[in-house]
Amino acid sequence: RLGYTASRVILFWLFVAPTRLFSPVRIPFAVRPEVRQTVFAVKNTIHEHLQHLRHALLDLHKTLVDSERVSYEQTMGTIPSPNHFLQLLMKDPWFAWLHPLSQLIVMMDEALDGKEPLTPAGAQALVKQVRNLLVASEVGEGFSKHYFEALQRDPDVVLAHARAAKYFGAPKPPV
């Protein structure tokens, strides 16, 4: 049985998202058809790239959550229910390091579903944020330290990171 929020999310993706994601770009009719097609193609390319990155980040997030759950249960004991696990994800310091990734995914959703069209600069800014966040560091604190530990502990996290890295890889040098 789905909760109210889960039902709303499912309804959104079934009925609202397809109309927002694939609606044509409104361009004044005086623009030449070949220019109109180019603008539409650029918008679709940016949108598709961010959609692929978003899906890869969702997969990485799920993999990290699963990995952290196993680690938590080995240390603290079995989590009694899905509701309790959700509460732990939202409020427990053990899982707090995952919040920046969750927030970044939400920002990406808002940019993809926004009323204003996504610009190349906006898309590049999101990709840059992903690139800056998903840096593992053996020293320090916060996300990068925990991310390093997860990469060392779980090969599934490494594979999910590799799939996401295809979409946020290092910026191409200027030609």
- Torsion, Cα of 121, 127, 132, 138 (10° steps): -170
What amino acid is encoded at 15 in this protein? F
Distance from C-alpha of 75 to C-alpha of 82, rounded to nearest angstrom: 18
Q: How far apart are CA 84 and CA 141, in angstroms?
A: 26
Distance CA(149)–CA(141), nearest Å, equals: 11
pLDDT top residue among 168 and 30: 168
Amino acid 7: pLDDT: 52
Give the chain's mean pLDDT.
79
pLDDT tens-digit readout, 62-85: 999 999 999 999 999 999 999 999
The pair of structure tokens assigned to 103 is: 């927030």
Longest Cα–Cα distance of the chain, Å, equals 66
The pLDDT-based confidence of 13 (bands split at 50, 70, 90) is low
CB 56 within 8 A of CB 166: yes
Could you read off the pLDDT of 40-64 as tens digits, one per residue?
444 567 788 899 999 999 999 999 9
Between CA 29 and CA 26 the distance in angstroms is 9
pLDDT for residue 36: 44
